[in-house]
Amino acid sequence: MGSTLRSQYKNMTTSGVRTRRSRNWHRRLGMVLAACATALTTLPMASRALAQETGQTIQPIEPLPQPNAPAAPPITSDPVSPSLNSAPNFAPSSSANSSFAPTFEPNNCPFTLPPEFARETVRCGMVTVPERHSNPTGKTIRLGVAILKSKSANPQPDPLVMAQGGPGGSMLELLPAFLPSLAGMRDRDIILFDQRGTRYSEPFLFCQEVYDFKVQNARFPDSPALRDRYQAAVAGCRDRLKNSGVDLAAYNSLESAADVPLVVQAAGYGGPFNFYGVSYGTMLAQHLMRDFPDRLRSVILDSVAPLDTSFIVHLPRNTDRALRRFFEACRRDRLCGSTYTTLEQDFLGAVAKLRARPQVIQLPNYGELQDLLEGRLSIENLDPNRLAVPVLLDGDGFISAVSTAFYSSASIPKLPQALRETRQNSYAGILRVLPLLLFSKSQADGVYNSVMCSEDGGFTLAEVDASGVYPEIAPALLQAPEELLRTCQTWQVPPLAPKANQPVRSAVPSLLLSGELDQVTPPEFAERVARGLDRHYRYVLPGLSHAVFGSSDCVSQMMGGFLQAPDRAPNAACVSQMRTQFEVPKPLRFTPATANNLGISMVIPAGWRLSMQGLAPVWSEVDGSGFATGRVLAVSVAQQSTAEVLRSLPYPTRSLGERRYRNRRWQLYTIDNPSLASIVALYTRRGKTYVVAIDSDSLWHRDAVLEGVLSNFRIQSR
């Protein structure tokens, strides 16, 4: 695998990634993910074939959309909580930064737009702000900013400012995925910014120590000793950042809220602005409504988190609530209810099975891919063993993975089938979101710790309510609050002034949006916040989960209508037509596909698109959240035995025997990794081996695609 990956990645890094690291990151990562499924299944084989026959490398046609990064951590991520003995922190007021003149320094955009948006006008740069707004002449920091210019000949004067959640997530890296959903809001400029300490701001408070801990220890069961080692990693990150001059206590919500008017000013807008925040970003919005009400024309709160309670305290019951409503929605749906009659039992059965017999599986290490594709890691120093991480999947880990799947509304329709396939020891449909959170280098761990410990962690374990929660999952859901309190003792930042945790009263026009199946910020949270908002419109979106923007055209239409007239309720007729959607196995439709350079023709599922071309073409299916959920790769290799071809794969295989399709006998091999639904088919003719690799997020879908592709596989006459 090592030499194979080196030959593939060498071309990527020598073609400009070292000199233009961030600019082409999304294109290169999209290229890798398109070919390698969720765990690098087909990429090495394609690279091997190309290196053997021509020395060429795979060429991407276009980058696949990147998944919408979840706006809050999963229940197994590193929770945080405040130190109870610290002194109050300074709270910036609306006049705290009045004497500071922010500057905008143009810079290259850290993303590549999809081809259909290549003509968009986007200005990117860095805005300088004080690290402490109470000391405008002191140390400064820089925030990454992107300004998407309006398409209107007469744009509205008030821009829309958009902030990501987390805390610690990056908004800039989401712009390519968000563009289609912004179509109804292009009558004004849109400002996206990375909050202080996050991915494209300086400094970036990423904890390499915590990332390394996860990669090195994910295969071990939970234990007191393991938790001690985790806290040592947190302490190592804390000390490194402090020694580099970072004031960890300055990376809190009040300082970040005071940044926003300066970002708008530096971008060239002097009047009121509109603000959109998702998940933690809704807390930032509430601080703006309290401290800078005169600057706000309107506010959109997506997946609302209240200020006067910690979401961590409610996590057990909110997760339980989302699961029960999901099961009930399936029961009430005619097709889902009749197909998946044991859905709840499948979930609880998988928890029990994995508690009794945990499994070590392999998950993709997205952080290593990021380092490689952005030039921080050279080919010569690449350790191929780090590209896939051994992870212990036990009962608690399975609960976490299912909860994490609810971060993507596009995952929910397929979740019943994914739960059913756990009976067959397949977890591909459950685990596709989890690696993006566990092994990402885009999340600013330091920001997450500083924000949560200063603002959202002032609770005791006695306040954590797990009453009525499934007894099979309650112990797992209580682990996050416990570890959260300990992490904040390690992080050592003071709590904010008491007003930071008081409900906001505001007359700013507000639109509050909640997903019916949100397991982190349920609709009840929005109702709680709405009590203090004099001019608000609140909606619950059926069938959606966390972070509803980008998941439904209905949401985009409502947001666009609200921005045009914040004093009137938006047209919400589309909400009544929404419901939880479910997918069940059904016959697939296929369309012809030809790879003339391979001398073959076949069919692929209708709607799939060619995502890589060359001598190893890949056709991909992408869901509404930007996840590639299915791929077909075709390649031919000369003078290679079956064993040599299989050795090019990163995972061991298991033979399924020989199967005849039309007049050809294919050798079938499944990838022996429960986190994948992948299969490789080989057919040898006249010294040449034809290879078809298929990845999917479910076994039935994989097998249906395989049947269609191989039944229509033809070798062209030369």
Where residue 339 falls among pLDDT bands split at 50, 70, 90? very high
Q: Each residue of 386-409: pLDDT tens digit?
A: 778 999 999 999 999 999 999 989
For residues 399 and 289, membership in a common domain is answered with no
Residue 253, both tokens: 């919500």
Element (H or E) spanning 228, and its range?
helix 224-243
For residues 316 and 291, membership in a common domain is answered with no
Please check whether residue 57 is in contact with residue 50, taking contact to mean a CB–CB distance below 8 angstroms.
Answer: yes
320-335: average pLDDT = 98
Where residue 528 falls among pLDDT bands split at 50, 70, 90? very high
For residues 562 and 685, membership in a common domain is answered with no
What's the CA gap between 487 and 448, in Å, rounded?
Answer: 11
Please check whether residue 314 is in contact with residue 518, taking contact to mean a CB–CB distance below 8 angstroms.
Answer: no
Cα dihedral 259, 558, 624, 317 in deg (nearest 10):
70
Helix and strand totals (H; E) in the chain: 23, 22
Residue 499, both tokens: 């007003």
What's the CA gap between 196 and 139, in Å, rounded?
Answer: 13
More confident position, 382 or 163: 163
Domain extent at residue 174: 103-203+249-306+496-577
What's the CA gap between 318 and 393, in Å, rounded?
Answer: 23
For residues 460 and 520, membership in a common domain is answered with no
Beta bridge partners of 306: none
SS3 670: strand
More confident position, 114 or 397: 397
Where residue 97 falls among pLDDT bands split at 50, 70, 90? low
Q: Each residue of 443-467: pLDDT tens digit?
A: 999 999 999 999 987 899 999 999 9
Q: Each residue of 637-668: pLDDT tens digit?
A: 877 788 888 887 777 899 999 999 998 999 99
Where residue 606 falls among pLDDT bands split at 50, 70, 90? very high
Where residue 367 falls among pLDDT bands split at 50, 70, 90? confident
Which of 440, 457, 491 finishes a domain?
491
The pLDDT assigned to 259 comes to 98
Distance set, CA 556 to CA 292, 525, 553, 561 (Å): 26, 21, 5, 9
468-487: average pLDDT = 94
SS3 297: strand
Is 463 domain-assigned?
A: yes
Is 362 domain-assigned?
A: yes
Indicate the number of domains in the chain. 3
What's the CA gap between 60 and 282, in Å, rounded?
Answer: 37
The pLDDT assigned to 467 comes to 94
Q: Each residue of 532-555: pLDDT tens digit?
A: 999 999 999 999 999 999 999 999
Which of 535, 550, 577 finishes a domain?
577
Euclidean distance between the first and the last CA atom of the chain, given in angstroms as a whole number: 33
The pLDDT assigned to 484 comes to 92
Using the structure block, give the residue that is written with the tokens 């902030």: 163
DSSP classification of residue 424: G
Using the structure block, give the residue that is written with the tokens 């692929």: 604
For residues 558 and 509, membership in a common domain is answered with yes
Where residue 82 falls among pLDDT bands split at 50, 70, 90? very low
For residues 367 and 344, membership in a common domain is answered with yes
What's the CA gap between 368 and 413, in Å, rounded?
Answer: 30
What's the CA gap between 303 and 552, in Å, rounded?
Answer: 14
The pLDDT assigned to 371 comes to 79
Q: Each residue of 593-603: pLDDT tens digit?
A: 999 888 999 99
Residue 320, both tokens: 């339980």
293-321: average pLDDT = 96
Where residue 49 falls among pLDDT bands split at 50, 70, 90? very low
Lowest mean pLDDT across 107-111, 408-412, 628-632, 691-695: 628-632
The pLDDT assigned to 136 comes to 94
Is 371 domain-assigned?
A: yes
Element (H or E) spanning 301, and its range?
strand 296-302
For the chain, the residue count is 718
Which of 577, 607, 637 finishes a domain?
577
The pLDDT assigned to 603 comes to 96
Please check whether residue 680 is in contact with residue 668, taking contact to mean a CB–CB distance below 8 angstroms.
Answer: yes
Using the structure block, give the residue that is written with the tokens 């994914």: 418
Q: Each residue of 143-172: pLDDT tens digit?
A: 999 999 999 999 999 999 999 999 999 999
CA Rg, the chain, in Å? 25
Q: Which residues contact residue 590 at a Cβ distance below 8 angstroms, ignoring those fewer than 6 apart?
A: 603, 604, 605, 606, 708, 712
- Edge-to-edge strand list for the sheet holding 628-638: 59-60, 609-613, 618-622, 628-638, 688-696, 677-685, 664-671, 653-661
For residues 183 and 295, membership in a common domain is answered with yes
Question: How many percent of the chain have pLDDT more than 70?
Answer: 85
SS3 163: strand
For residues 301 and 329, membership in a common domain is answered with no
Lowest mean pLDDT across 47-51, 108-112, 241-245, 688-692: 47-51
Residue 556, both tokens: 């985009």
What's the CA gap between 252 and 447, in Å, rounded?
Answer: 8
Please check whether residue 210 is in contact with residue 237, taking contact to mean a CB–CB distance below 8 angstroms.
Answer: yes
Q: Return the percent helix, strand and coil in the chain, to nearest 5.
A: 40, 20, 40
Tell how strand 510-515 and strand 296-302 pair up.
parallel
For residues 518 and 650, membership in a common domain is answered with no
Beta bridge partners of 330: none
What's the CA gap between 402 and 550, in Å, rounded?
Answer: 21
Please check whether residue 92 is in contact with residue 426, taking contact to mean a CB–CB distance below 8 angstroms.
Answer: no
For residues 461 and 507, membership in a common domain is answered with no
For residues 288 and 177, membership in a common domain is answered with yes
Tell how strand 510-515 and strand 590-595 pair up.
unpaired
What's the CA gap between 250 and 132, in Å, rounded?
Answer: 6
The pLDDT assigned to 74 comes to 29
Is 77 domain-assigned?
A: no
What's the CA gap between 2 and 5, in Å, rounded?
Answer: 5
Using the structure block, give the residue that is written with the tokens 């609810």: 406
Where residue 625 falls among pLDDT bands split at 50, 70, 90? low
The pLDDT assigned to 27 comes to 30
Please check whether residue 285 is in contact with residue 277, taking contact to mean a CB–CB distance below 8 angstroms.
Answer: yes
Element (H or E) spanning 355, and its range?
helix 343-356
Q: Is the pLDDT of residue 303 over 70?
A: yes
DSSP classification of residue 321: H
**Top-confidence range, 76-80, 431-435, 654-658:** 654-658
Using the structure block, give the residue that is written with the tokens 């080692």: 229
Average pLDDT across the chain, whole number: 85
The pLDDT assigned to 25 comes to 27
The pLDDT assigned to 98 comes to 61
The pLDDT assigned to 300 comes to 98
Is 79 domain-assigned?
A: no
**How far does Cα 428 stand from its chain's mean position?**
16
Where residue 629 falls among pLDDT bands split at 50, 70, 90? confident
For residues 562 and 681, membership in a common domain is answered with no
What does the DSSP assignment read for 480-549?
Answer: HHHHHHHHHHHH--PPPPGGGGSPP-B-S-EEEEEETT-SSS-HHHHHHHHTTBSSEEEEEETT--S--T
Is 224 domain-assigned?
A: no
What does the DSSP assignment read for 597-623?
Answer: TTTEEEEEETT-EEEEESSS-EEEEE-
511-525: average pLDDT = 98
Q: Each residue of 561-589: pLDDT tens digit?
A: 999 999 999 999 999 999 999 999 999 99
Element (H or E) spanning 210, and its range?
helix 208-217
Q: What's the CATH number where 709 sits?
A: 3.40.1000.10
Is 505 domain-assigned?
A: yes
What angle is formed at CA 697 by the lines to CA 695 and CA 701, rounded to 5 degrees? 75
Is 315 domain-assigned?
A: yes
The pLDDT assigned to 452 comes to 96
Q: Each residue of 698-712: pLDDT tens digit?
A: 999 999 999 999 999
Q: Each residue of 262-298: pLDDT tens digit?
A: 999 999 999 999 999 999 999 999 999 999 999 999 9
